[in-house]
Each structure stands twice: as structure tokens, then as C-alpha cells.
Amino acid sequence: MKIAIAGAAGRMGQMLIRQVAGTPGCTLAGALEGPTSNALGRDAGEVAGVGPKGVKIVSDGAAAIGAAQVVIDFTVPAATVAHAGIAADKGVAMVIGTTGLDPAQTALIHAAAKKVPIMWAANMALGVNILLALVEKTASMLDPSYDIEVLEMHHRHKIDAPSGTALALGRAAAAGRKVKLEDVWRKSRDGHTGARPAGEIGFATLRGGEEVGVHTVMFAAAGERLELEHRSFSRETYALGAVTAAKWLEGKKPGLYGMKDVLGL
């Protein structure tokens, strides 16, 4: 399978290139970066530390994406939307790990998925996707006297908060309670907030250092607290999931898929 990587010079992009290089049946076909990147013109394999691959990092999205069967994108919302439009025009499948898209950007991803298969997930680690299922099941079993709080911590460089995974966990909890997350969430607290309303799903965000990712879902009631937690120690787990998803997309019909589909959960 010919795979293109968007954001090829970034930390996640380099990890993805290494994963593609080490996956039998996969080859790097394109490497894409923004027009101001100092990696433009360099060999993507050398940038990622796996030796020359004969693929230069370019800023021409049509050229990089058009050379592949699937493009993997862990970039920023505006770039991801632009890449999805190119992929749809070129007939190239897409794996998206970008979070923080607004409703208008999300609608454009849905539009692209009408033309090509797209797998979009806030987190591609197997453990996180099992956690999502556990959170939904647990929330369905506990009544609203159990307060739900989602705590997440990431490295200092992360640009969106709460993380996409934290929001996905909140949505899983809301689904378990058969409510809409936007109707019950509290993304931050400051000052005299008053007593916590029953049924509220709260979020707490921590940023610092080089923390890859910690997500904890707490179910707190009088006399006890249940915690479900996942910790990532390396971006490698995300890269493995993304390349697994890329291979899974081969031959799939246009549509929007998730890691539940890829993993058969």
C-alpha cells in the first residue's frame, strides 16, 4: 500500500514514517509539510531517521496525496480539511487523527467521506478504544448520583483543550446515560461556581513537560470513587493504529469510519 504522510516533519509525522517503513506491505509514497517548513526538499526517510526513502518532503498537497492510495493526517484542523478536499478529488482514502475541528470543518470532513473512505478517530491506541467502550458501559450502569469527571494531561506543545480523546470519553459517558454531551458538560470551573449539578460531566485539563497522554475517567459518589485510566508512553501506539487503519481502508466504500470499525469492537 502506498501511503502519504501529512505533517511529515513533525514528531507524529516522523513516527508515522518510521511505522510505515517497518510495516510489511506498506511503502512511503508522499510526504507533505506546510510552505514555511525548513524540512521542504529533504528526504522524508532521513528526516525520520530511517535512511533515504526517495521521497522528498513537499508543500504541494495534490502531488503528495495524489501519489498515494491513502494519506495519514495528524496535523491541524485547517490543514486537515484542505487535505481531505484534495483526497476526495484524487480518490485517495484518508486516516485522520487531528482533533479540535469546529462544526463547519467537521461538515467538510463528512462531505469528503461521501467520495472516499475516511477513518477518523480522536485516538488510535487499542487501549483507548477499549477504554471508550468501558466508559460507556460503566456510565450506563451507574445512576446520576455518580459524578463523572474526565481528567487529561498532555505535553506542553498540545494546542487544543480538552483533548479530542477526553471529549470522546465524555461522549462515551453521555451515550451511556443517553444524553447529549453538550447539554451536560462543564469544560472549566473558576470562581464561585456553586454546587455541582447532578448529571454534569466535567473536564479538567493539564499541560506540561513531554507527557504523551494520560486520560482518567472518574465516577465519584458518596463513599466511593471508580477510576478508569489509560496512559500512553510513546506515540508509537498511535502510529501503529494509524497504519493499521490505513491498511484496513483498502477496498472500503466511501464513508466515515472509526477505530471501532477497524478493531471490530
Which among 33, 35, 39, 30 has a CA at the least distance from the CA of 4?
Answer: 30
Q: Is 197 left (phi over 0), alpha (psi -120 to 50) or beta?
A: beta
Give dist(CA 98, CA 13) in Å, integer: 12
- Measured CA to CA, the distance from residue 249 to residue 243 in angstroms comes to 10
Instruction: Lay out the sheet containing 70-73: strands in order across.
Output: 57-58, 27-32, 2-6, 70-73, 93-96, 117-120, 255-257
Catalytic residue among 56, 90, 115, 158: 158
In the set 53, 154, 215, 230, the catalytic residue is 154
Sign, CA torsion 127/129/132/134: negative
Q: Catalytic annotation on 158?
A: yes
Query: CA–CA separation, 96 vs 73, rounded Å?
Result: 5
- The verdict on whether 154 is a catalytic residue reads yes
Residue 190 has phi, psi (to 5 degrees) of -160, 140
Catalytic residues: 154, 158
